[in-house]
Amino acid sequence: MPLTSLPEPDLLLPNSGEPALRWGLLGPGWIAGEFVAAAHAHTAQRFTAVASRSADRAAAFAARHGIEHALDDAEALVSHADVDVVYIATPQSQHLELGLLAIAAGKHVLIEKPMALSAGEAQQLVDAASAAGVFAMEALWSRYLPQTSVVRKLLADGALGDVHTVHADHGQAIPADPQHRLYRPELGGGALLDLGIYPVQFDSMVLGAPTSVLTAGGLTETGVDAFSTLVLGHGVGKQSTVTTSMLTSTPTRASISGSDARIEFDSFFYTPSSFRVLANDPNAPDQGVDLQYTDETGLRLFQALSWEATALARYVGEGRTESPLHTLAETVSVLDTIDQAKAQIGAHASVLALARTTTLTEQDGRR
């Protein structure tokens, strides 16, 4: 029977019984500023402390966002009496160390994606949180968007029939500067961990962990992965393709194709977006939109980071130790897929010379 309507999204609305937690922040950079602003504007959650190695930077961030305590020491923040949960938004090279520090202090943790540099490091965090009995979650905001709840319902209801494939891509044109964090291996740079995690987790959400990973890609001169295509096997009749690049901007779209229908996401699929559900009509291929979903909550772009803040508070209030929408086991599994892909790229890839691309800084210096 053809699908005649879309299910209603499950909205993680604030002030719906979740506790108003007191948050501490490690790493007051750009994404942290977006997250704090979204949480303060659209949730019952409040940041009470921020820490940076630079006291001036912490103080400036605190003043900008109305945060009471500005600290220059991570240990002081994780042990602070006015902090219930620690949000870690430092470069991913520090996620393991700071995550373990917060967990040892008995704090719940929200760690920016990727949770760690590898599946092994992520498992260390999972094991530590389990032993301490605290809540731990990767800050993968896509899982908490209203549109994602609609997709989960469509999949659970079998609206697409048997799902056979996922296609997803994410590419951004990152300046070819060896000092940029994505070009620096010591900071956990590379396209897959920072950008590719979105299409990889999307495939995981739909089809689960792959049974095989086949990767082609290239390395930068600094030794990090620059671009890649992953062909992910999921058993008989199920195969997906995900791509990522930090050399060029790509459409950043996604699709889920089943035996009866498919879902096509608009760009950027991992942010508040829209999608279409199209029936597989062999007599009229690609003709007409059967159903369309558009996010009508009014929360645009990074305002939607607020959904995951409310989600965490709700789960903590329910006594959970992990997110039911993005479990810790899946967090580790996604990183394992990326580990495999990176190993294959490292073994077979060509190297791109950064000298071929002139950075904006170099151009300015020649004027």
In a domain, 2, yes or no: no
Residue tagged 């949480």 (tokens): 39
pLDDT tens, N- to C-terminus, the chain (367 residues): 568 889 999 999 999 999 999 999 999 999 999 999 999 999 999 999 999 999 999 999 999 999 999 999 999 999 999 999 999 999 999 999 999 999 999 999 999 999 999 999 999 999 999 999 999 999 999 999 999 999 999 999 999 999 999 999 999 999 989 999 999 999 999 999 999 999 999 999 999 999 999 999 999 999 999 999 999 999 999 999 999 999 999 999 999 999 999 999 999 999 999 999 998 876 655 554 589 999 999 999 999 999 999 999 999 999 999 999 999 999 999 999 999 999 999 887 566 655 443 333 333 332 2
Residues 60, 192 within the same domain: no
Residues 214, 329 within the same domain: yes
Please identify, among 109, 142, 175, the residue that sits at the C-terminal boundary of a domain. 142
Residues 106, 198 within the same domain: no
In a domain, 159, yes or no: yes
Quote the CA–CA distance of 11 and 146 in Å, as a whole number.
Answer: 6
Residues 274, 153 within the same domain: yes
Residues 187, 99 within the same domain: no
Residues 116, 180 within the same domain: no
Residues 150, 252 within the same domain: yes
Please identify, among 142, 173, 197, the residue that sits at the C-terminal boundary of a domain. 142
Q: Three-state SS for 274?
A: strand
Domain count, the chain: 2
Residues 152, 279 within the same domain: yes
The closest of 23, 42, 25 to 33, measured between CA atoms, is 25
In a domain, 309, yes or no: no
Q: Exposure pattern of 179-201 as b/e (b: 16+ CB <10 Å)?
A: eebbbbeebbbbbbbbbbbbbbb
In a domain, 338, yes or no: yes
**Which residue type does 8 have?**
E
Beta bridge partners of 225: 219
In a domain, 240, yes or no: yes
What's the CATH code of the domain at 85?
Answer: 3.40.50.720
pTM of the model: 0.92
Domain residues for 116? 22-142
In a domain, 302, yes or no: no
In a domain, 307, yes or no: no
Residues 165, 277 within the same domain: yes
In a domain, 12, yes or no: no
Residues 153, 101 within the same domain: no
- What is the strand order of the sheet 225-233 is part of? 291-294, 274-279, 261-265, 254-258, 163-171, 239-245, 225-233, 212-220, 350-352
Residues 151, 133 within the same domain: no
Q: Three-state SS for 71?
A: strand
Please identify, among 142, 170, 201, the residue that sits at the C-terminal boundary of a domain. 142
Q: What per-residue confidence (pLDDT) applies to 307? A: 98
What's the CATH code of the domain at 235?
Answer: 3.30.360.10
Residues 98, 176 within the same domain: no
